[in-house]
Amino acid sequence: MLCHLSDLHLRDARDLDAFGRQLDSATVQSAEHVAITGDLLDRWDEPLLEGALDALGTRGLLDPQRLTILHGNHDLASSGGHPRRSADLWRLALRFWDPPPLIRRRRRQFYEAIARRSEGIASPAHF
């Protein structure tokens, strides 16, 4: 059985807790393979990415035989898209567009952070 998770848009510790509960569900635990296909994060946040990887590792999912991760546009962006507070609206307005060099650097950082935990779980597409 395959478990497909997408558009999780993790924003903070509260979302990380919910992600952990989702990973504890019978569906994920009994899956032969878990695919996380884009927008694990709501916006680039390396400590939050590390927290998500911790949650996956704690549950024995940081194994290329059990997990595949692909980035989405939100995983690399500054602005995010799901505001919780009015202050988030300013961040959305001011950081609507990130320059390509910044996105390339974050893309590299995203995949390097995953590779430090386990090789073969994720690799960037060539486009």
Q: Is residue 127 part of a domain?
A: no
Q: Is residue 122 part of a domain?
A: no
Mean pLDDT for back-to-back runs of 10 residues, the chain (127 residues): 94 96 88 94 95 96 95 87 69 72 94 94 75
Q: Is residue 100 part of a domain?
A: yes
Cβ atoms of 38 and 68 within 8 Å: the answer is no
* pTM check: above 0.85: yes
For residue 111, the enclosing domain spans: 2-117
Q: Is residue 74 part of a domain?
A: yes
Instruction: Give a three-class secondary structure readout of 11-25.
Output: CCHHHHHHHHHHHCC
Domain count, the chain: 1
Here the CATH number for the domain that contains residue 90 is 3.60.21
| Residues 41, 4, 33, 20, Cα dihedral to 10° | 50
